[in-house]
């Protein structure tokens, strides 16, 4: 049981770090604001969720894991809303999305 618990926790934490890494690379590499908001809003949310649920699995049935589950619910609710608010406000104030020009065309 404990071995299975540790294995599941390690898998979840490694998956979470992988998605966080992908999100960070996306924030650095993607071309404009909206795609970067996409990267930070979705991939980082999934990474944080997997990371925290891995920690909760590692902790077992305690009060700490209950608090971690509350944090998971909070992050899953707020992070997409924050990304939505940023992207919507940028679009309303006239920021142009990126339409796929190549670099040599300008």
Partner 1 sequence: MSTTNTELCSKESSMMAPTESPIVHLASRGISPVILLVGMYVFFHGHYSPGGGFQGGVLLAAAILLLRLSLGTSLSQPVMPSWITLRLSALGALIFAGIGLLSILLGGNFLDYHYLPMPWLEPAYLRYYGILLVEVGVTITVMTTLVAIYDDLLGC
* Contact between 74 and partner 1 per CB under 8 A: yes
* Contact between 63 and partner 1 per CB under 8 A: no
Number of shown-chain residues binding partner 1 (CB under 8 A): 8
Alpha helices, H only, 30-62: 33-38, 44-59
Rounded Cα–Cα distance for residues 81 and 100 (Å): 26
Residue 103: half-sphere exposure toward Cβ, Cα within 13 Å? 2
Nearest to partner 1 of 94, 106 (CB atom): 94
Shortest Å, Cβ 2 to partner 1 = 28
Nearest to partner 1 of 29, 67 (CB atom): 67
């Amino acid at each position: 049981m404990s071995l299975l618990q540790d294995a599941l926790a390690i898998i979840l934490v490694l998956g979470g770090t992988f998605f966080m890494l992908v999100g960070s690379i996306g924030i650095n590499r993607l071309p404009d604001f909206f795609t970067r908001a996409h990267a930070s809003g979705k991939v980082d949310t999934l990474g944080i969720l997997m990371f925290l649920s891995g920690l909760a699995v590692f902790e077992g049935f305690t009060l700490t894991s209950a608090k971690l589950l509350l944090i998971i619910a909070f992050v899953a609710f707020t992070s997409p809303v924050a990304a939505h608010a940023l992207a919507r406000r940028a679009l309303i104030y006239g920021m142009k999305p990126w339409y796929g020009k190549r670099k040599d065309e300008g």
